[in-house]
Amino acid sequence: MKMKSRFLSERELIKGIRRDFSGSEVPDLRLGIGDDAAVFSSSRDDWVITKDLLVEDFHFLFPSHPADLLGRKSLNINLSDLAAMGARPRFALLGLGMPDGTSPDWVRDFFEGLRSAAFEFGVALIGGDLTGADKITISVTALGAAPASGVIPRSGARPGDTVYVSGTLGDSAGGLALARRGILLGSGEREDYLLRAFLDPNPRVELGKRIGALGGAGAMIDVSDGLSTDLGHICEESGVGAEIEAARIPLSEALRELSPDPQRDALHGGEDYELILTIPSRNEEAIQDLSNEFALTRIGRITEDRKMILVHPDGTRSPLRKAGWQHFKG
């Protein structure tokens, strides 16, 4: 986005956004940026809609979070929600509040990051709103097409299902801890690995679409608030419990080396944006075919008694309490 003046008017900014985000024809989009509202039409798809809000000093640290990576993250955390439903991302709307005098360089970098994530996942930015604010405030609404077999809810887990997670857990918490200590990108290979997990998370869009196309999962959720909390959401919505084997929880070498308590980070850290899925026994073979391609790890099973239990390597058992992120706690 080309910016010549020190400060930008809203009209100039919208004009730049419209130019930079215009691309090839988008199927089903009738009107995009430039009118009072966007218009799209489809007789083929059910639509999945999600929204996330990021507030400066509460969800991200300014200026230690690079603007381009913040632009990517603001979209990608919404795409992670769509992935957790098995949906295919299509459209997004952006609400952005900024203090007076926000640097045009920051604005340019933010939109370049947002655009790179949108292009990477085939998402069209179709509108939104800009306003002044005391702190940078970012609100993204994302829309996706549901799979033909139907969305994958949190409420479909059944006793006997196997619990899988994608990727490794706890890396974002490890990166946040480094950022709070003032450690920046470029400090070392393993430091950068954890910092990028926090600053620039990668939503499991393709995995979500593949699971949705297979119709293979009973329940699915993304790890935004931590394994303990998000698995708890599945258990509550499905009326079940779970047993998780601590030794099976996948941890990266970087987290093992740099975190004082990697298991705590993996259980409760949040913002990993990996997927937790429960798989009925009849679909195990199909999921195994995806395991190597998407680094899926079996970590436990769904039970009847509505309790979450952590099974330790020595065989002892303890309650797995929801200790991840909770909004509005004291």
Residues 197 and 311 in one domain: yes
Residues 308 and 258 in one domain: yes
Residues 302 and 171 in one domain: yes
Could you tell me if residue 167 is inside a domain? Answer: yes
CA pair distance 32, 143, nearest whole angstrom: 14
Could you tell me if residue 325 is inside a domain? Answer: no
310 burial (CB, 10 Å; 0-12 / 13-18 / 19+) is buried
CA pair distance 220, 276, nearest whole angstrom: 6
CA pair distance 260, 291, nearest whole angstrom: 29
State the CB neighbour count (10 A cutoff) for residue 197: 26
Residue 67: which domain range? 10-145
Per the CB < 8 A criterion, the answer to whether 111 and 1 are in contact is yes
CA pair distance 7, 1, nearest whole angstrom: 14
What CATH number does the domain containing 45 carry? Answer: 3.30.1330.10
Per-residue pLDDT of 248-286, as tens digits, reads: 999 999 999 999 999 999 999 999 999 999 999 999 988
Listed in sequence order, the residues at least 6 apart from 157 whose beta carbon sits closer than 8 Å to its beta carbon are 218, 219, 234, 235, 238, 240, 278, 302
pLDDT at 3 over 80: no
Q: Which of 145, 179, 207 is the last residue of a domain?
A: 145
Residues 135 and 174 in one domain: no
Residues 287 and 197 in one domain: yes
Per-residue pLDDT of 163-200, as tens digits, reads: 999 999 999 999 999 999 999 999 999 999 999 999 99
Residues 71 and 213 in one domain: no
Quote the pTM value.
0.89
Residues 108 and 228 in one domain: no
CA pair distance 74, 42, nearest whole angstrom: 26
Residues 261 and 286 in one domain: yes
Residues 128 and 244 in one domain: no
Could you tell me if residue 101 is inside a domain? Answer: yes
Q: What is the total count of domains within the chain? A: 2
pLDDT > 70: percent of the chain: 91
What CATH number does the domain containing 175 carry? Answer: 3.90.650.10
